[in-house]
Amino acid sequence: MEVSIMSIKKINVVTLGCSKNLVDSEHLLRQFEANGLEVSHDSDEPADAVIINTCGFILDAKEESISTIMDYITAKERGDIEKIYVMGCLSARYKDDLVKEIPEVDRFFGKFDFDEILKELNIQKRKDLLFDRHLTTPSHFAYLKIAEGCNRTCAFCAIPQFTGNYVSVPMESLIDEAEKLAQKGVKELLLIAQDLSFYGYDLYKKSALAELVNRLSAIDGIEWIRLHYAYPNKFPTDVLTVMRENPKVCKYLDIPVQHCSDNILARMRRNTTADETRALITHIRQEVPGIALRTTLLVGFPGETEDDFKQLIAFVKEMKFDRLGVFPYSHEDDTYAFTQYTDDIPQEIKQERADEIMEIQQSISESLMQQKVGQTINVLIDREEDEHYVGRTEWDSPEVDGEVLVPVSAHLEIGQFYKVKINSAFMFDLYGDVI
């Protein structure tokens, strides 16, 4: 029997992929709850409808999205779910194929079909809540998506194909959104976009990142501002002054460099060179003493020679990033690399190279963490887990970086800052006591 939209009272939103997807889901959830729907996020509980916000970046993410859709189709066959809707990057990228191949899904939406989804569910859009969110993160931190889309042309990346060109969110809207988040108790804002470095160029014809960060830091209640997804080329160095002088801006920067050999940087179309990358990293560390740098590397890109990889190894040892992630190259259709290059590096070599980099990084991280022993550091407590409270320093971003563990006997409050004396370190984590 066909289920009427009107009977949908409980809706579950499932978010896959990155924090940008999470922000989209949180905006949707806010509209649903404001219209009287019971909402849940990433829940296994039965619901009248589920919206799966998919990721379509690389093969692994696509496979995870498909298997999640299949899980909910099984739940529908069991009668736990009435309606299945799919949105996000996978859906934006392969909609026509998905409609044909997975008819059990009631409807596929693009990445930005916000209004379409509300119409489909017969929900009145609350314009007054456009910059309000139903938080799914712990209530003391939240992601703030400052732009969508991307104007870069990285050869391995399909994202611009389905997100479109760069669109900065107007500063006034971001301030409004951040004020609402602060009123909900958010203390830490994580600024995200496909490319943070380009903020403002489309809207204000100049870089506006430094001004935005300064204005966000003036909001009552906001204690930490963290910058993610900076792009090396045309990086707005004026934000470094704000980072050095404004105590509310974490001395932390996530800046994916992807590689360091000129041969591969050119083939990746990263519009930068090994020397420029080194010079930028050195400049950032000079301008902001004590800054923690996170980066991402891509190994096994078509044409990556043994020598290119040796250069990358030397670069990792030389640069000593505080945090580093490495991905084996995924030959993605619709990308420049897919049309121009052969995926000539065997998968096992790609994986070996990624493992080798992470092994080196582990020892780098270990020695950097040891240097923190004996220091007293400001720590934001995220949760209680077994015998410990788990928190982070300003050099640690949630879910991707290290943590600080404090004995549970300290009786601390989640979401509060404490001074912690570090007495030991292990791999990526620190252990200490509140003083």
**Contact footprint for ligand SF4 (CB under 6 A):** 150, 152, 154, 157, 159-160, 194-195, 231
Is the CB of 150 or the CB of 379 nearer to ligand SF4?
150
Please, what is the minimum distance in Å from the beta carbon of residue 61 to ligand SF4?
13
User: What are the beta bridge partners of residue 12?
Assistant: 40, 50
Is the CB of 154 or the CB of 242 nearer to ligand SF4?
154
How far apart CA 157 and CA 238 sit, in angstroms, is: 28
Looking at residue 57, what DSSP letter applies?
S
Please, what is the minimum distance in Å from the beta carbon of residue 403 to ligand SF4?
27
Q: Identify the H or E element spanning 433.
A: strand 429-434
Please, what is the minimum distance in Å from the beta carbon of residue 144 to ligand SF4?
18
Please, what is the minimum distance in Å from the beta carbon of residue 115 to ligand SF4?
24
CA torsion sign, 194 to 327 to 63 to 157?
positive
Q: Are the beta carbons of 266 and 294 closer than 8 angstroms?
A: no
Is the CB of 76 or the CB of 228 nearer to ligand SF4?
228
Closest CA to 109 of 4, 196, 25, 207: 25
Please, what is the minimum distance in Å from the beta carbon of residue 195 to ligand SF4?
5
Please, what is the minimum distance in Å from the beta carbon of residue 280 to ligand SF4?
15
How far apart CA 191 and CA 196 sit, in angstroms, is: 8
Q: State the Cα torsion 350-355-357-358 to the nearest 10°.
A: 140
Is the CB of 150 or the CB of 181 nearer to ligand SF4?
150
How far apart CA 293 and CA 251 sit, in angstroms, is: 9
Is the CB of 110 or the CB of 164 nearer to ligand SF4?
164
Q: How far is CA 188 from CA 35, 184, 221, 393, in A?
A: 28, 12, 9, 12
Which residue has 């391995």 as its token pair? 156
Is the CB of 150 or the CB of 319 nearer to ligand SF4?
150
Which residue spans within 110-181 are E strands per DSSP? 141-145, 147-148, 167-168
Please, what is the minimum distance in Å from the beta carbon of residue 65 to ligand SF4?
18
Is the CB of 174 or the CB of 337 nearer to ligand SF4?
337
Please, what is the minimum distance in Å from the beta carbon of residue 335 to ligand SF4?
9
CA angle 76, 70, 44 (to 5 degrees): 60
Is the CB of 146 or the CB of 154 nearer to ligand SF4?
154
